[in-house]
Structure 1
Amino acid sequence: MYYFASDIHLGAGDPETARRTERRFVAWLDAAGRDAEAIFLLGDIFDFWFEYRRVVPKGFVRTLGKLAELTDRGVRVVFFTGNHDMWVGDYLARECGVEIHTAPQEVTLAGQRLFLAHGDNMRIEGQPALRLLNTVFRSRTLRRLFAWGVHPDLAMKFGRWWSGKSRKRHNDADRRAAETGCGGGFDASLTEPLIDYARDYARTHAVDHFLFGHMHFARDYREGALHTVHLGCWEKNPSYAVLDDGGRLTLKTLES
């Protein structure tokens, strides 16, 4: 069995909400680890993460311990960076044994070809401001300068402020969708850029399934041979996907 989740946003919200989200996620990891060959985490697992050479964000002890326990038992854990945790360094790989990917990947699992990505850098050709912002944030030079010149306490304060702004944009979109009657808050159009990307990619690549995070809406979309699965956000209605040994990919909602 193979498991997929994204957009946990550990650390987001007030302390009680953040602790509840983490406990729920750790319980899911524990359950998945009982029969998982691999667990794929497709970005924004942390609401903010910036890693210095000798300093990492405090907290997340339950999550880090569970990840280390899983990999110690031989469960493969694959971590894709998202726009909230793009500054992950080597700590998670070195201390927790997870594999880190900073770009989309194609993998073959259970006889199926999958395309895995967080989804934050796709179909932004017509958004020059966002493209510039991504270039700045992903610059290794600026990352080193930031680490050299900004105290960790200030870095965490900035990160929480920036992550809060990003989360507010998602919440505003959710609210607008609810006001217009889009499926109780689900605006399917938000996933269209990723579906469009998948359509183009599938024309030249043999892919059975596309899995994305980022949009904070769970959706299982089929269009002929095209199949895209969009993993939801764990702050509201947690969801995840499972690929069984027979090659069937299913989107599921976490039971409370």
Structure 2
Amino acid sequence: MKLDILAIGVHPDDVELGCSGTLINEIKNGKKVGVVDLTQGELGTRGTIDTRYTEAVKAAEVMGVHVRENLKMRDGFFKNDEEHQLKLISALRKYQPEIVIANILHDRHPDHGRAGHLIADACFLSGLTKVKTNDEDGNPQEKWRPKYVLHYLQDWYHEPDLIIDISDVFEQRMKAIEAYGTQFFSTGEANDEPVTYISTPDFLDSVTARARMLGKRIGVKYGEGYISEKKIGIRSLDALVQNET
């Protein structure tokens, strides 16, 4: 399946927290969107691998994504090396996305930054003819390089290069995040598990506050911010007028 947009997160729930509003917007606009999780989140304090898969499936249904898969890299111990790059390159060539949305390049959790650099490097290398990969059936894959790689904001704040209005889909976005009942605050059985940085009510409040702050920057209610190492251009000033809200 060729995708318009591929969102990649090192942990299940990264995509939901970072860019799910944008994904929902694009799906409503008729785009084909997929998610690739690099790890199974097996080092997470709360929940299990099985519950994480169940939650990821539920979140994918809420967002409406067309495909989701897990590359089963080692949570906490994967590397930005040839082995992991080739695994990700194979996925990029499989889905041929025009745009990749990825983890941030530097953050509180070391996995986030390491994944961000792994994804950026793999996106470049995927466009080289002499980098060889095969599909699941052993057939050679053609080179593919996405036109843009955008990095969503995570725990630490970075000044965004691009802010997208997600006001119309904010409630749906929050339902996708809340699908991870063992990770975030809920009134269910998950409260019997150890309290973590992201399991308190304050964490979800901060997610909403971040979206409100970014929305205010562009004159809307809620926004999601992105970093782009490649400069984003427009063909004419009409694009600015058409996008004004």
Structure with a larger share of its residues in strand: 1
Q: What TM-score bracket applies, with the shorter chain setting the length?
A: 0.3 to 0.5
User: Normalising by structure 1, what TM-score?
Assistant: 0.33
User: Normalising by structure 2, what TM-score?
Assistant: 0.34
